[in-house]
Amino acid sequence: MTRILIADDHAVVRQGIRQILALGADLIVAGEATDGADVIERLRTERFDLLLTDMSMPGLSGVNLVKRVKDLWPDLPVLVLSMHSETETAARVLKAGANGYVTKDCEPAVLLDAVRRVAGGGHAISPMLAEKLVFEGRDATNAPPCQRLSDREYEIFLHLVRGERLNEIAEILHLSPKTVSTHKMRIMQKLEVRSAAELVRHAMEHGLLS
């Protein structure tokens, strides 16, 4: 029986995941977490065979959460289930050590297959994303400018282009508004944009908005 820890800050999403995983007789949701800190605490006190986690949660999440988990439990399989279908996001998470990446609009059968693959020591990624990663990766000259951003800057960039305010982002990521403001300035410098509107336009032009 594969013991799974699911992490998502939305109760309705966790319930939906539970219902899907219940279709597999060999799978059991042995725990739930609502944010990155909760994930770390649960992993320290209980045994799990797989972490199935959302990409965006309050505080520690996404790339930084994957890195932290892999540093502490390198043998624990990690499967990311995300609303983000951008190849740049998937590439960063996989580079951080995740064993799989699937999007929340996938069919239940795809999620079940991905869970079993990753839990068994393999890798899994949404078919459409896999195709994009392969073909986009062939031409380095077409690499999006956002690759210049650090993982933290990219995380904040995604929040900014969704129209979230600095104070909101600071609260979500457990940072000070001043720190978020500094990151925003660096993001705009690296992407060579001068306004929030240009930032959104850049994201749209490079397919970084879901």
Range of the domain at 86: 2-136
**Would you state the pLDDT for residue 129?**
78
Lowest pLDDT segment from 4-13, 109-118, 190-199? 190-199
**Average pLDDT of the chain to the nearest whole number:** 88
**Would you state the pLDDT for residue 151?**
85
**Is 210 part of a structural domain of the chain?**
no
Q: Does one domain contain both 98 and 128? A: yes
- Domains identified in the chain, total number: 2
Q: Which of 118, 136, 154 is the last residue of a domain?
A: 136
**Would you state the pLDDT for residue 112?**
96
d(CA 102, CA 129): 8
- Strands 78-82 vs 50-53: parallel, antiparallel or unpaired: parallel
**Would you state the pLDDT for residue 143?**
60
Q: Does one domain contain both 125 and 195? A: no
